[in-house]
A = this chain, B = another copy of it.
Amino acid sequence: MSDILRIADRSFDSRLFVGTGKFPDKRVIGDVIKACGCQMVTVALRRVDEKSDDENILDYIPSDCIIMINTSGARNADEAIRIARLARAMGCGRWIKIEVIPDNKYLLPDNVETLKATETLVSEGFILLAYMNPDLIIARALAKAGAAAVMPLGAPIGSGRGFKTKEIVKIMVNELDVPVIVDAGLGSPADAAACMELGCDAVLVNTAIAISKDPVMEAKAFDFAVNAGRTHYILSGSALPAPRAACASSPLTGFLRDGNKV
C-alpha cells in the first residue's frame, strides 16, 4: 500500500517525526532514528556554551533525514524570525518549525505571533510547519499564509498527558487542506495510534521517546503504533462519520451584512 505523506516538495514514508531534546545520552539519537525509520527530526538553536564540549547534535542525525529547526526560545514573531534566519545561515536548509511560546508554565503557543512569523518567513522562502494551539480558523490562516503543515498540540509539551484535544483536531483534519501533525503531549504509542486513526497526517514525539528506559525500543513502538493507526484510518476512516457539525443557536438568517441577501 503506497501511502506517502507530502509536505512542501518532500515525500515521507514515515509519519513519525522525532524531536531530539532531553536524551540523556545524545549518542543514542542515531539509533533511535534508524530504528523507527524517521525521516524528519527537529533540533533547536542555542547560544554556544563555551564550557561544554564541542558536541554537535547534527553529527548524530543520519544524513538522509530532514532536519527541521524549531524556534523554541522565541517569545514573539520577531524572535522566531531571527532564529529561522540564523538556522538557514548555518546551512540547515529551509525547514522550520515555528514555535512561539510566551508562557513558561504550560508552554502554550501564541497563535497570533505564530501567524505573523509564518507570513514573513514564507516570503523568505522557508518551509514552515507551525506548532499551534488547536484552532481551525488560525490553522486556515496559517495555511493561507503558506504554512506547509499545522502542528496542533495534543497536550502541554512534555506532559505526556496524551491526545487531549481530539475535538478541535478532528475538525481541523476534516476541514484543512494542509497536513495536520499532532505535536506535544503524546505519552504512549496508543496516543499516537489514536491520532492517526482520527486522520492526522503525522505525529511528532520527543519526550516519551527521549526519557524512556530504552529510547530505541520506545521509538520502534511509536513507529509501529503510527503505522497501525494510519492503516486503520485508511481502511476505515472514510467510513467514519464526520464530526457532528454545529447547529446555530442564533438564527442563520437576517444577518446584517453588506451585499448579502436577507
Contact = CB atoms under 8 A, between A and B. Distances in A.
A172 B251 CA distance: 30
Interface residues of A, number: 95
Interface string A62-76: 000000001011010
Interface in A177-196: 184, 188-190, 193-194, 196
A110 interface: yes
A252 to B, nearest CB: 8
A86 interface: yes
A228 B217 contact: no
A229 B190 contact: yes
A245 B246 CA distance: 28
Interface string A13-26: 00000010110000
Contact of A249 (B134, B141, B210, B244): B210
A158 to B, nearest CB: 3
Contacts of A222: 228
Interface of A: 1, 19, 21-22, 44-49, 70, 72-73, 75, 79, 82-83, 86, 99, 102-103, 105-112, 115, 133-138, 141, 155-159, 161, 164-168, 171, 175, 184, 188-190, 193-194, 196-197, 206-207, 210, 212-214, 217-218, 220-225, 227-229, 231-232, 234-236, 243-251, 253-257, 262
